[in-house]
Structure 1
């Protein structure tokens, strides 16, 4: 429920911001260059994170059932990162469409206006989603450490409900 509220809030802020920011972005090549640069860096960084976190070598040892359970859990967590990556690429794609069609749509202000609002909406919303990324990564690392600690404790015969 908390995540759904965060998504809804980001989408509302993205929609309102894109509506009011569009006049300041209209045919502003500096803003377009900054947005493309930022989202390209975000996309590259996120691919690196997905690759590192999804590395099967980081699965703690144990039975295949434990590994399978952790795989499904990791897949669910990483699916949000894949959605975020897709939104970054969609922002860049909409920007390219906007730049390419700028000359063709000079007579059709309506379409240019909505393409600009669309890339601003997706860009602002996905940028706001990015603020949740550090805590999600920290949770994943915490779960890994907890699993490793439990594995080491079980190696020396300490049950999960016992204190050292």
Structure 2
């Protein structure tokens, strides 16, 4: 029976990010209420991030980059790549949620500009935007670590190949 390992640091980062996002969503809502420029910036930023993330996911999913020496090492790498892609998928979905909430806010605000529903939608999209943005800040270091691990693996593979000669 395989024991489930819990990554407490990831859970802590998730919880802290969630708390920060709720606080910013609630207290920042007056700053985005009726502010078309702020809404436009959020839409532009998350549209660009979504496009960038799809490119990253496409590159990370390329099987040719993960060829190992044996089928077992390929199977292990596939599992790791799958887990990374699933995390990126959820980040991409959070971008789309932000964009959908902004869109809904725009539609509802035309009908009832100062209604409670508009305020709630603004809090939601600002909170989701904060959450997704904070997680996006971690993406470059994860990609850097991935590339360095690939490079180290390549060096080790060549080193062990030279020793066998």
TM-score by length of 2: 0.89
Measure how far apart 1:114 and its partner are.
0.6
* Distance in structure 2 (CA, Å) of the matches to 1:57 and 1:113: 48
Partner of residue 162, structure 1: none
Structure 1 stretches of at least 4 aligned residues deviating more than 4 Å after TM superposition:
none
Gaps of 5+ in 1: 159-164
Query: Over aligned residues, Cα RMSD in angstroms?
Result: 1.4
Is this contact kept in 2: 1:60–1:147, CA < 8 A?
Answer: no
- Aligned pairs, number: 157
Matched, 1:152 2:149: no
Q: Which structure shows the bigger proportion of residues in helix conformation? A: 2
Partner of residue 126, structure 2: 120
Partner of residue 22, structure 2: 15
Q: 1:45-124 to 2 correspondence within 5 Å? A: 45-106=52-113, 109-124=115-130
Partner of residue 35, structure 1: 42
* Distance in structure 1 (CA, Å) of the matches to 2:33 and 2:126: 11
Partner of residue 135, structure 2: 129
* Distance in structure 1 (CA, Å) of the matches to 2:56 and 2:15: 25
